[in-house]
Amino acid sequence: MSYSIVDPILKAWADNHGLHIHTQYQDVEVRSIDMVNPQGKHFQIWIDEPSQAGDTIVHVWDMKKRRQDYIATKSSLKEKLEAAYQQAQKWF
């Protein structure tokens, strides 16, 4: 599988929020976004590698205990990314 099917959606969404997408972690292809609030708290949004149809799971966590997962299709990915982002904002 490949992230290429969802990369344009993810990039447009991240650009809209001024966020950087990490694409590699320990020599593995990933799609991960780190956020830090003004108080220094860290949050992460990442997506699982999508199926050929673009189905994936969007995850958000506070790097400690709180975590939320969103099942997404290619057509709902932007909406689920935004839901994860808004959840992180609430945890800020």
Q: How does pLDDT run across 65-82, given as a tens digit for each residue?
A: 999 999 999 999 999 999
User: At 32, is the pLDDT very low, low, confident or very high (cuts 50, 70, 90)?
Assistant: very high
CB 78 within 8 A of CB 42: no
What domain range includes position 50? 3-91
Upper half-sphere CA count for residue 11 (Cβ side, 13 Å):
7
Of the candidates 63, 62, 57, 48, the residue with the CA atom closest to the CA atom of residue 80: 57
| Domain count along the chain | 1
Cut 0.75: pTM above it: yes
Whole-angstrom Cα distance, residue 46 to residue 25?
A: 12
pLDDT for residue 38: 85
Q: In what order do the strands lie in the sheet with 22-25?
A: 22-25, 28-36, 42-47, 56-61, 67-72
